[in-house]
Amino acid sequence: AQSVTQPDIHITVSEGASLELRCNYSYGATPYLFWYVQSPGQGLQLLLKYFSGDTLVQGIKGFEAEFKRSQSSFNLRKPSVHWSDAAEYFCAVGDYNQGGKLIFGQGTELSVKP
Amino acid sequence: DADVTQTPRNRITKTGKRIMLECSQTKGHDRMYWYRQDPGLGLRLIYYSFDVKDINKGEISDGYSVSRQAQAKFSLSLESAIPNQTALYFCATSTGPNTEAFFGQGTRLTVV
């Protein structure tokens, strides 16, 4: 069955430091991959998505993610974190065999130290 | 105005009560979803609908039912609420398979 794993439940970084959030997926075909962010009290907002082509994708708010088929990974990165990036981040895969509905990982909560 | 609107935003109900959560959208999307969010578990799919006549169970549909009243409206019901249904519920829409989903603001439900 398709699944998404985010190994880190909670990460704390200092403001201005670089960030990498991990995402591993289990999927039998070429995956459709997404990263969403959820700010406190808000719904989920799409940061970026990968469907095909260039394996390094750029998103909003200075985020990028790299698709690595050999590692079944789609890690999210940002070179310099801002205090406003504190939020929960979700990785998701589109389940093509089930009509393309999204399967989400457990989420990673990001805290930013001043 | 939000493209995907959930009502109510917060609700406290008693065990055994029937409750309905409503979702409406102005995006014109055919596909609508109900997810439940619990700490440490991410979002889990309850039900999804690809059009008005096509409704499907997700991974955690027990204890829930849905109604797709129109393309724009998708309601989630808890027939007899229980405390472990306390969670944050999200409605979402999309245009087709493997496309991004657009989420509502969520409904925080507490069953006491």
Quickly state the pLDDT bin for A52 (edges 50, 70, 90). confident
* Nearest CB to B42; choose among A34, A42, A106: A106
A-interface mutation test, from B98, B99, B102, B105, most A Cβ less than 10 A away: B98
Q: Which residue on chain A is closest to B43 by alpha carbon?
A: A104
Q: How far apart are CA A85 and CA A109, in angstroms?
A: 10
- Those residues whose C-beta lies under 8 Å from the C-beta of residue B79, and which sit 6 or more positions away, are B18, B63, B65
Quickly state the pLDDT bin for A53 (edges 50, 70, 90). confident
B73-83 tens-digit pLDDT: 999 999 999 99
Judged by CB atoms closer than 8 Å, whether chains meet at B43 and A90 is answered as yes
Q: How far, in Å, are B55, B75, B85, B92 from residue B79 at the CA level?
A: 18, 12, 11, 21
- Taking the CA of residue A79 and the nearest CA in chain B, the distance in Å comes to 25
A78-112 tens-digit pLDDT: 999 999 999 999 999 988 767 778 899 999 999 99
Q: How far apart are CA A86 and CA B78, in angstroms?
A: 33
- Taking the CA of residue A14 and the nearest CA in chain B, the distance in Å comes to 23
Residue in the structure block whose two tokens are 């507490």? B110
Quickly state the pLDDT bin for A31 (edges 50, 70, 90). confident
Contacting B residues, span 13-52, partner chain A, CB-CB under 8 Å: 33, 35, 40-45, 48, 50
- Reading phi first (left if > 0) and then psi (alpha if -120 to 50, else beta), residue B12 is in beta
A-interface mutation test, from B90, B100, B102, B108, most A Cβ less than 10 A away: B100
Judged by CB atoms closer than 8 Å, whether chains meet at B97 and A105 is answered as no
* Nearest CB to B104; choose among A43, A90, A96: A43
Quickly state the pLDDT bin for B97 (edges 50, 70, 90). confident
Judged by CB atoms closer than 8 Å, whether chains meet at A90 and B42 is answered as yes
Judged by CB atoms closer than 8 Å, whether chains meet at A99 and B101 is answered as no
Q: Which residues of A touch B (CB under 8 A)?
A: 4, 6, 9, 32, 34, 36, 42-46, 49, 51, 90, 94, 96, 99-107
